[in-house]
Amino acid sequence: MTAPLRPVIVAGNWKMHTVPAEAGELARVIAARTVDPLVVRVICPPFVALRAVRDALEGTGVAVGAQNIHHEPAGAYTGEVSAPMLVGLAEWVIVGHSERRRDAGETDALIGAKLRRAVEAGLRPILCVGEQLADRESGRQEDVVRAQLRGALGGDGDGGPAAIPGSLVIAYEPVWAIGTGRTARGTDAAAMADAIRATLAELATAERAESIPVLYGGSVTAGAIGEFLAEPAIDGALVGGASLKPDEMAGIVGRAGVTAAARAAAA
């Protein structure tokens, strides 16, 4: 089987930063500093800044993503935002981020429901998975991530293949390496990407598994991203704090462009 040429993706997650008045200008600056036709670029601002960022990015080739959605399409859920509400404002959405799992107690089943709502609404989902420090220290990191994938994608071995959407992107977040001072290595991310695709192959087919992009998302910086993009199994990055800094994003996308060009030339 010939390996597919997966896209190289850099998605910026602004988390709970920026207000609408500043978000649009920041998005414009980042878009201008990161022009590369070989790299898929996405900015995920807070909900209240989606319209400002969407308008600022029009015509730049940079897509807009949301940071979360509710697991129901509508209903009496005060303060929540559903996938249909995002149509026209965003094209992508993050589901299952480690901070949502930690702070909101999101389960794999709930994340799976969010994933399905995203696909139904035509949004491209970035499904986040990753282990805690205790999991890695006990050697259970792959078991934890495999369980997260099975729980979210609905493949429990009792029926046929899981319905893995063609638009799916996986972001591997080693939670133990985010804001802790600990450092993940490119080989750590590559090993987990292999485990992720092996699990997807078990849930669906090997062909489908090989087509799914896997991003790295652990305290990504311009200085460190090269080590991860040098791994053939890694297809880009989900960037946190550095995505608010135009210089950092320029460096990250620039390195991603080198990877994308090399892969295209080798294909």
User: How far, in Å, CA of 160 to CA of 121, rounded?
Assistant: 24
Tell me which of 106, 142, 173, 248 is the catalytic residue: 173
Contact assessment for residue 119 and residue 93, using Cβ atoms and an 8 Å cutoff: no
Tell me which of 71, 97, 99, 231 is the catalytic residue: 97
Exposure string of 141-150, with b = 16+ CB inside 10 Å and e = fewer, is bbebbbebbb
Query: Residue 89: which of 52, 126, 34, 61 has the closest Cα?
Result: 52
User: How far, in Å, CA of 41 to CA of 58, rounded?
Assistant: 13
Residue 97 annotated among the catalytic residues of the structure: yes
Residue 17 annotated among the catalytic residues of the structure: no
Q: Own/partner pairs for 17-21, CB < 8 Å, 24+ apart?
A: 17/46, 17/244, 18/45, 18/46, 18/49, 18/244, 19/48, 19/49, 20/48, 20/49, 20/51, 20/52, 21/52
User: Parallel, antiparallel, or unpaired: how do β-strands 8-13 and 169-172 relate?
Assistant: unpaired
For 25, 72, 139, 174, the CA distances from 32, given in Å and listed in that order, are 11, 36, 43, 30
CA 144, chain centre distance (Å) = 18
Residues involved in catalysis: 97, 173
